[in-house]
A and B are shown apart, each in its own frame.
Chain A
Amino acid sequence: MSHSSAELNKPLPAAVAVGSARWWLSYRRFPVFSRAWVWRRAALFGLIIVLVGAMSSLMHYAEGSDERLALELFAYFVAGFLVMTNAGPLLAAIVRHRHFAPVTERRLVVAAIGLGLVLALLADNWSSTAMMRLTDSEFERTMEGTALVINLLVLFGLYALMGGGLALRAYLGEHRRLATFESEQAMRRLQSDKLAADRQLAMLQAQVEPHFLFNSLATIRSDIRDQPEQAERTLDALCEYLRASIPRLRPDDSGSSSTLGDQLEICRQYLTVMQSRMRVRLEFSIDSDPAVSKLAFPPFILLSLVENAIRHGLEPSSRGGRIDIRARRDDQRLIVTVADSGVGLSGDAGGGVGLSNIRHQLRLLHGDDARLTLSGHARGGVEASIELPAEAASQEPDS
C-alpha cells in the first residue's frame, strides 16, 4: 500500500488510527510521520513545552532572577525540548514523503528516528549546559559504573518516548492495520453484495411455483360448476396472493422494507388457496397482535416455512392436519413460529436446502442476532421458529 503525498496528509479511517481521537490528539488521525501528523503533533507538544517552560522561568523570576535571564532560560528550554521531540519525527516525515519502496522506507524511517535520538541527546546536552551555566547550578556529573548506565538508559528511554519512539511502533503497525482494515472493508462489501444477491435469489425462488399455480387453477376449474362460491373464494385468494408476491420481483422494490404484517398476509392468502384445494385436510390459524405487524421482517422467509409445512408436513399425510402461525414480541425480540401437525421429521439427516437458505439469509441480515430453530415430535408435527431483533420497518429500501 503506497500513499501519495495528498493521501499521506489525509486522515486515516478511525479503525486504523491508534488510540482515542480527541481533538487535542487529532494528529493521531493522520498517517504516522506524515507532514500533517508532524505539524499537528509539533503544535501540541510545542504548546505543552511553552507552558512548562514559561512556568519554570516564572519560578526563577519569582525567586529573584532578572527578566533577561528568565527569558533566556525560557528560550533554551523551549529550543532544547522542541528539537528533542521533533527532530526524529521531522526526519521520518521527510523520508515518508519521498515515497520509497515499503521496505526501504521502513528502514530509513527507523534510521531517521535513531538519528533523531542522537540529535535529541545533543540538543539536551546543549540546552542543559546552557541553562546550568545561566543558573550557576552544579550538576553532579561524575557518575560511574551502574549508576551511569542506568542514567543513560533512563535518558535514552526518555528521548525515545519524546522523540517518536512510540510513534515508530504505530508506524510499523500502520501498514498492517491499514491492510486489515481494507480487507475487512472488502469483506463487508462482499457480504453486502452477497446479501443483495441472496435476496434476489430468495425472491426468484419465491416466484410463484408453477406447480402451486396450476394445481390451484385446476381446483378452481373443477369447482366452477358445482361450487361456484367456493371457486370464487379460491380465485380471490389466488389473486391476492399473486398480487402480493409478484410486485416483489421488481428491482425497484427489493422487499427490504417488508413488514411482518405483509408477510403474514401473503401466508394467509397462500393458506386460503391451499385450504380450498385440500379441503378438510387443512386447517390453519394466524395469531399475531397488531403491534407486531409493523415490525420489519425479511421477505419470503415466512412463506417458505409455511410452504415447507404444507409440502413436507401435511401433503404427505392422508388425514391432513393444521398449521398455526404465531407472532409475538418479547421485549426486544420478535418471535414467529410456524407449527404443523403433519407427518413430522423423518430420517436421521436431510438436505433441507430451503431451510439452509433461510438460515443463511437470517445470518447475513442479523448475524448471530437471529435464529431459526426446528423441533418436532417423534409422533409427528414440526415447529419452526424464527427469532430476530424487533425493529421498525424502514420506509426507504436500504442501499
Chain B
Amino acid sequence: MNSAAVRILVAEDESGQRRQLIDQLAKLWPEAELVAECADGDAALAALESERPDVLFLDIRMPGADGIEVARAASGRAHVVLTTAFEQYAVPAFEAGALDYLLKPVVPERLAATIERLEQRLQSSPPDIGALLSALDERLRPAAEQKLNWITATIGDAVKLMAVDDVLFFRASDKYVRVVTADDEALVRMSLKQLEDRLDETVFWRIHRAVLARVSAIEQFEKDELGHWHARLKNHPERLPVSESARSRLRGM
C-alpha cells in the first residue's frame, strides 16, 4: 500500500460537480491517483475492469448503469463511496458501515473524514457489500411503482401511453394482447397473466381464458344461438366471450 498510490475512480454525470470533487480530492488526498473520470455508469463499469481502481466515488443517479449497479460490480474488489444529494432513505443502509457515503454539496471536512476512514479500510481487503446494496436499492425504489397505471403500446414506429383507467378490456390474440379503450386500441407484448397480476382485481375480471374486462364497462351478459355466453359492453361494439366457469362465478355478484 505504501509503495503504490491509491487508485481512485470518480463517476458523476454533472461535469461541474465532478470537477469539484476531483479538485477537492487532489487537495485533500495528494497520495491518491485519479485513474478514471466517468460521466456515466457504463463508463465506470468499463473503467472498473480496465483501470482496476482501489476506491470508487459513485453518484447514485447516473445515466446508464446507476451507482448501485456499479458498486455491486465492484463489491469485494474495491472500496466504494456513494455520493447523494439526499439520504432520507439511504441512511440505514449506510449505517451498516461497510459502505461510505458523501452528501452533496461535498464539504471539505466531511471529505477529509471519509478519506481518513478509507485509508484505514485500505489496510484490509474490500468487503462484500452485495446484500447491503440490495437493501439500499429496495429503499430507493418506490413500492407504488408496482401498480400498473399506464400501458406502453408500440404502434409501428410510434409509442403511445394508454391510461389503464381508460381501458375497457384486454384480449389475448396469438403472442400479443390487444388493449382496447372506447376510441382506441393497441397491441402489447405482455401476457394476460402478467397484466392481471398488476391490475386491481376489483376493477378487471378474467371473464375468459383470453379476456380481462373492466367490470363497470359490461352492460350485460347474453347467450347466442349456439348457447355460448357473451358480454356486451357499454361503450364498445365488440362482444366478449365469457367462459362457463367465469359465468357461474359472476352469477349473483
**In the assembly, what is the distance between CA of A323 and CA of B21, in Å?**
28
**In the assembly, what is the distance between CA of A278 and CA of B12, in Å?**
11
Q: Does B27 contact A (CB under 8 A)?
A: no
**In the assembly, what is the distance between CA of A359 and CA of B166, in Å?**
11
Q: Which stretch (B120-128, B130-138, B152-160, B209-217) binds chain A?
A: B152-160
Shortest C-beta distance, B39 to chain A (Å), equals: 6
With a cutoff of 8 Å between Cβ atoms, the chain A residues found around residue B86 in the complex are: 209-211, 214
**In the assembly, what is the distance between CA of A218 and CA of B21, in Å?**
10
* Chain A contacts with B in 69-84, Cβ cutoff 8 A: none
Indicate if the CB atoms of B63 and A378 lie closer than 8 Å.
no
Given A222-B17, A315-B61, A356-B163, verify A377-B158 contact (CB < 8 Å): yes
Q: Does B92 contact A (CB under 8 A)?
A: no
**In the assembly, what is the distance between CA of A340 and CA of B18, in Å?**
25
* Chain B contacts with A in 79-123, Cβ cutoff 8 A: 85-86, 88, 103-106
Q: Does A374 contact B (CB under 8 A)?
A: yes
Q: Does B129 contact A (CB under 8 A)?
A: no
**In the assembly, what is the distance between CA of A221 and CA of B61, in Å?**
19
Query: Out of A350, A355, A359, A378, which one reaches B157, CB within 8 Å?
Result: A378
Shortest C-beta distance, B5 to chain A (Å), equals: 24
Chain A 348-378 against B: per-residue CB contact (8 Å), 1 yes, 0 no? 1111110110010000000000001111111
Indicate if the CB atoms of A344 and B14 lie closer than 8 Å.
no
Residue of A nearest to B107 (CB): A221
Shortest C-beta distance, B121 to chain A (Å), equals: 25
With a cutoff of 8 Å between Cβ atoms, the chain A residues found around residue B21 in the complex are: 222
Residue of B nearest to A224 (CB): B20
Indicate if the CB atoms of B85 and A215 lie closer than 8 Å.
yes
Indicate if the CB atoms of A214 and B105 lie closer than 8 Å.
yes
Chain B 192-208 against A: per-residue CB contact (8 Å), 1 yes, 0 no? 00010010000000000
Indicate if the CB atoms of A318 and B161 lie closer than 8 Å.
no
**In the assembly, what is the distance between CA of A316 and CA of B104, in Å?**
20
Chain A 216-239 against B: per-residue CB contact (8 Å), 1 yes, 0 no? 011111110011000000000000
Indicate if the CB atoms of A376 and B158 lie closer than 8 Å.
yes
Q: Does A277 contact B (CB under 8 A)?
A: yes
Given A210-B86, A214-B104, A277-B16, verify A377-B149 contact (CB < 8 Å): no
Query: Out of A277, A317, A376, which one reaches B160, CB within 8 Å?
Result: A376
* Chain A contacts with B in 189-247, Cβ cutoff 8 A: 209-215, 217-223, 226-227
Of A209, A219, A344, A379, most buried by chain B (CB within 10 Å of CB) is: A219
Shortest C-beta distance, B240 to chain A (Å), equals: 21
Query: Out of B16, B105, B150, B160, which one reaches A349, CB within 8 Å?
Result: B150
Indicate if the CB atoms of A346 and B161 lie closer than 8 Å.
no
**In the assembly, what is the distance between CA of A55 and CA of B38, in Å?**
104
Give residues in A with beta carbon < 8 Å to B: 209-215, 217-223, 226-227, 276-279, 315-318, 344-353, 355-356, 359, 372-379
20 contacts between A and B (CB under 8 A): A209-B86, A210-B85, A210-B88, A213-B85, A215-B17, A217-B104, A221-B105, A222-B19, A279-B14, A316-B63, A317-B63, A318-B63, A349-B188, A350-B150, A350-B161, A356-B149, A356-B150, A375-B159, A378-B157, A378-B158
